[in-house]
Amino acid sequence: MDKRGFHKMFLIVIALIIAVLILIYVVVTPRTREALHRLSQPETDTAVQTEHISRESQQPSQTETPKTDINADTETVIPQKTLNSLLEELQPHTYSTDPYLEARSILSENAFCFADDADGFSSHMHQAFKKANRLNEYKQLQQHCRGILTAYPTLQSTFEEIYLNLKPTSKTGQLLQAMIKRGNESRSVMQSHNEQTLRALLKSQNGPLLAEQAGMPFMYFNPGEPAPISQWINSRNYRYIEQLFTLSLTRLACQYQGGAACQPGGMAMLILCAQDPAACGLDFSSYYQQNILPGMQKDVDILVEKFEVMAESM
């Protein structure tokens, strides 16, 4: 399935967004030591594909479509009573005064809790933790989740609607929501929007949001790179570049809010644990040091530095 296919699948199953991210991430970006070693090797076909995408992104579309109005009202309105309850739950704000960003940040930081009811998810994660001999950590996460779900009952019951229907009050929130609501935009508009979103995300220094978006490289690389990453690392290996994008954003996420986004129950480790039991119960920093090859870590360091410069240049 190509990148457009993943994008369409994401939109269709937005109601199960966290579970979908796990499935997509497992297929697109395996991160076991063996898989990373394979991805670090040159691949002629992948290089050709990346060059082809890059050339296409530089050519004007034959039919230009109007730019999506990210300030337009959402199609569905959340009932006022539900909205009031949600806004009350989000107080006091931890990550952003924008309720949309605050809600998505809480969902990402506690992804294990909100994904726990997805079909087959709980059983799969239990087996993964058991295989890693970390059932005690699994029980601790479950206990933590009981407190989270008690504190955010409205968020738990409406999180599917939030991504599309809760109106953002900030530019960053509008950009993030527009990314999952985009229509038939031209290539140049899509690529420009991806770059704007990435810059705003980096500028926000919001760990949970960075961790969430790190799991969606297929959104940022359609139709081309959101930044000249291939030039920065002198590589045209498309899959490897996506790997670096994911690892770099997650590394940055760990620097903010005391590393809350990179704890065992957060989005970053939830995705890793779903595919690699060795990651279950670990924080991201521990997993990164134990499983990411030194050569790849050097490339990640390059991207982290470049992304920090991008954030400061806004």
Tracing tokens 């898989």 back to the chain, one arrives at 35
Q: Which of 59-63, 217-221, 273-277 has the highest mean pLDDT?
A: 217-221
Which range among 25-34, 122-131, 161-170 shows the weakest confidence by mean pLDDT?
25-34
Query: Which of 4, 65, 50 lies closest to 225 in space, CA to CA?
Result: 50
Tracing tokens 């999952």 back to the chain, one arrives at 180
Q: 84 vs 42, which has greater pLDDT?
A: 84
Q: What are phi and psi of 100, to 5 degrees?
A: -65, -45
**3-state class percentages of the chain: helix first, strand second, coil last, to nearest 5:** 70, 0, 30
Which residues touch 120 (CB under 8 Å, ≥6 apart)?
none
In the predicted model, what is the mean pLDDT of residues 244-270? 91
Query: Which of 96, 310, 299, 302 lies closest to 202 in space, CA to CA?
Result: 310
Which letter does DSSP use for residue 234 in this model? T
Q: What integer pLDDT is reported at residue 48 of this predicted model?
A: 35
d(CA 37, CA 20): 26
Assess whether pLDDT exceeds 60 at residue 10. no
- pLDDT band for position 119 (50/70/90)? low
In the predicted model, what is the mean pLDDT of residues 22-31? 40
Which range among 56-65, 91-100, 140-149 shows the weakest confidence by mean pLDDT?
56-65
User: Are the C-beta atoms of residues 248 and 233 closer than 8 Å to each other?
Assistant: no
Which range among 114-118, 226-230, 271-275, 289-293 shows the weakest confidence by mean pLDDT?
114-118
Q: Reply yes or no: is the peptide bond before residue 42 cis, omega within 30 of 0.
A: no
Rounded to a whole number of angstroms, the distance between the first and last alpha carbons of the chain is 35
Q: What integer pLDDT is reported at residue 173 of this predicted model?
A: 96
Assess whether pLDDT exceeds 50 at residue 121. yes
Query: Which of 94, 90, 22 lies closest to 256 in space, CA to CA?
Result: 94
Taking CA atoms, 149 is separated from 5, 110, 113, 117, 206, in Å, by 33, 10, 7, 11, 22
Cβ atoms < 10 Å from Cβ of 135: 14
Q: b/e for 254-274, b at 16 or more Cβ within 10 A?
A: bebbeebbbbbbbbbbbbbbb
The angle subtended at Cα 209 by Cα 205 and Cα 215, nearest 5°, is 125
DSSP of 99-138? HHHHHHHHHHHTHHHHHTTSTTHHHHHHHHHHHTT-HHHH
Tokens in use for 183?
């229509």
Assess whether pLDDT exceeds 60 at residue 118. no
In the predicted model, what is the mean pLDDT of residues 37-43? 41
Q: What integer pLDDT is reported at residue 145 of this predicted model?
A: 92
- pLDDT band for position 116 (50/70/90)? low
Assess whether pLDDT exceeds 80 at residue 50. no
- pLDDT band for position 241 (50/70/90)? very high
Q: What integer pLDDT is reported at residue 28 of this predicted model?
A: 37
Tokens in use for 118?
């997805």
User: Are the C-beta atoms of residues 36 and 292 closer than 8 Å to each other?
Assistant: yes
Taking CA atoms, 272 is separated from 54, 211, 249, in Å, by 29, 12, 15
Assess whether pLDDT exceeds 90 at residue 34. no
- What average pLDDT is seen over the chain? 78
Assess whether pLDDT exceeds 60 at residue 69. no
Q: What integer pLDDT is reported at residue 29 of this predicted model?
A: 38
d(CA 251, CA 135): 26
What is the residue extent of each domain of the chain?
3-54+95-178+187-312
Q: What integer pLDDT is reported at residue 172 of this predicted model?
A: 96
User: Are the C-beta atoms of residues 230 and 236 closer than 8 Å to each other?
Assistant: yes
Q: What integer pLDDT is reported at residue 117 of this predicted model?
A: 56
d(CA 207, CA 201): 10
Q: What integer pLDDT is reported at residue 246 of this predicted model?
A: 92
